Structure 1
Amino acid sequence: MSLPNNEELTTEQLLHAQAHVWNHLFRFINSISLKCAIQLRIPDIIHNHGKPMTLSQLLDAIPIPQVKSHFLYRLMRILLHSKFFVKIDVSDNDEHERYWLTPASLLLLRNAPLSVAPIVQLVLDPLMAKPFDHISEWLVSESRSTAFEMVHGRTLWELAGQEPGLNNLFNEATSSDSRVLAHVLLRDCKHVFEGIKFGRSGWHRDNG
């Protein structure tokens, strides 16, 4: 196989190119694994346990059939690689590997004030993800509508108005995003808002 300038690909280039393709091909697994972790409430289970958990303890807490138990181990390996959990070694136990939370997984707790779990669920919801399967079809079409409209026949707002589940999820997602932003602004950027007041003419800075 040759490059456009007719130079032959080296073995290293060929294998690196293949790995690059495979890396992008299977990257969706990270997102789906994240969604699965939230649906199984793995961050909440570990958090409520109060200390690192072994795989056996997770299996006891999650209703997974015994025949599929090894798949939970594989899921946790992906989530470890994605830095949503850390592995803690405890040498004085039969199962020396235990799983614990990271700052990222703290944001996935269902009832946490700054939880972003609703955003993850919204973005990875089949209704939201389906238009991405039709991007090429949308690009070559003469339609001036969005890919979302082309696939669903309605705008996001129209569909949300007819689908209570999507509407609630969208509201929760936007609210959670706003809470994170507001928290950062109020904690670390409070000085920016000092002296700003709201009057009849709108927001203004009081220089007095």
Structure 2
Amino acid sequence: MDFDDIEDHSAKLFRAQTHIFNQTFVFINSMSLKCAIDLCIPDAIHKYGQPMSLSQLIASLSIHPSKTCFISRLMQILTHSGFFSQHNATENEQEVSYVLTDESKVLLKDHPFSMISLPQVILDPILTLPTLFHTQNGVTFWDCASREPKLNHLFNDAMTNDSRLISSVVIEKCKGVFNGLESLVDVGGGTGTIAKAIAKSFPHLKCIVFDLPRVVDGLQGTEDIEYVQGDMFEAIPSFDSIMLKTIMHNWNDEECLKILKICKEAIASKDKENVIIIDVVIGNEKGDSELDHTKLFYDMEMMVLAIGKERNEKDKAKLFFSAGFN
């Protein structure tokens, strides 16, 4: 198998994974639509009579102040789904504005062909019971996983499946990242899927899989892999390099900053601050690709399930600089 065949195989696997994720999270489209209807967003923009800025929209909605920070992300996915159109800011306008599309016009209460009743009945809580995880269960997702072995197993198994594809792509496309490294801590490394793949491809590299006791308890290490129990919010083993695979999107900025500062303290060589981040990078996607939509699904999922979010390059850079990285 030549290089072109390998690259084509990886691309097909990645597209397959993206499609599965997209279909898994497709319900977020429905829930976002329900939010728009419940908050009367189409009517608010229609009543305004011209492109409506985000701040003006927020001010017009009947929503608790603690929830206003989520409206921009809701509008992001609704715009990507075609329910609103984004009116780009000019030099004199500091924020984007929104206008109705044909799809959102038929969600107006007084539209002669209003379709507002259909999603309202289909998405009624009596049928779907969609709630924020913490509101529904009284504890965070992570606390619940620590108490419920079945949920803990399902989550770890899901992360293992995800890591299989990610590891193949990372090793194939990012070999240079690991050249010259002698040791690596995979923080929140789960059952060690990625660490095992890296250790196999780079025999000189000593790897530690660092995770909570409920995740790594009972797992057997090898000559190149060691499992270490601990809490990344307290301390991380000191090694040459640290890897965070889909960790930061689980947490808000404050928690991410804390994690990064602990990472900086843990790096053995202060001359080379090697922190490897494998995570979603979100931006102002305007295309119609399934990958872009999946990223937005993930962002909404992090908002509902945990306290995290997906970030763009600027957001990530700000966190790194704030943590003291150059």
SS of the residue corresponding to residue 59 of structure 1 reads helix
The answer on 1:31 being equivalent to 2:30 is yes
Residues 94-140 of structure 1 show CA distances to partners (whole Å, capped at 9, x for unaligned) of 3341000001100000122111000110111233447xxxxxxxxxx
Q: Against the structure 1 CA distance between its residues 127 and 65, is the aligned structure 2 distance closer, same or farther, given a 3 Å change threshold?
A: closer
Looking at structure 2, the residues matched to 92 and 11 of structure 1 have their Cα atoms a distance apart, in angstroms, of: 42
Q: Give secondary structure in 1 for the equivalent of 2:77.
A: helix
Is structure 2 residue 111 aligned with structure 1 residue 112? Answer: yes
Task: Write the distance in 1 (CA, Å) between the matches of 2:124 and 2:66.
Answer: 28
Q: Secondary structure at the residue paired with 2:85?
A: strand
User: Retained in 1: the 8 A contact 2:34–2:120?
Assistant: yes
State percent identity of aligned pairs. 44
Greater fraction of residues in helix: 1
Q: After the TM superposition, which residues 52-131 of structure 1 pair with which residues of structure 2 at under 5 Å, given as runs?
A: 52-129=51-128
Compare CA radii of gyration and give the structure with the larger one.
1
| TM-score, with structure 1 as normaliser | 0.54
Q: Structure 1 unaligned segments of length 5 or more: list them.
A: 1-8, 131-208
Structure 2: tracts of 5 or more residues without a match: 1-7, 130-326
Letter matched to residue 112 of structure 1: H
CA 1:94–1:65 in 2, change beyond 3 Å: closer, same or farther? farther
Quote the RMSD (CA, aligned, Å).
1.8
Helix, strand or coil for the counterpart of 1:44? helix
Residues 115 and 89 from structure 1, CA distance in 2 versus in 1: closer, same or farther, beyond 3 angstroms? same
1:26-85, CA deviations, whole angstroms, 9 ceiling, x for partnerless residues? 000001100110000000000001111101001111133343322100000010000000
TM-score (norm 2): 0.35
Q: Distance in 2 between matches of 1:40 and 1:23?
A: 25
Count the aligned residue pairs. 122
| Correspondences of 1:153-192 after superposition (within 5 Å) | none
Partner Cα distance (1:126, 1:88) in 2? 33
| Range that drifts further, 120-129 or 26-35 | 120-129
The 3 A distance-change label for structure 1 pair 126 and 47 is: same
**Is the Cα contact below 8 Å between 2:54 and 2:95 reproduced in 1?**
no
Q: Distance in 1 between matches of 2:64 and 2:128?
A: 29
For 1:68 and 1:97, the matched residues in 2 are separated by 19
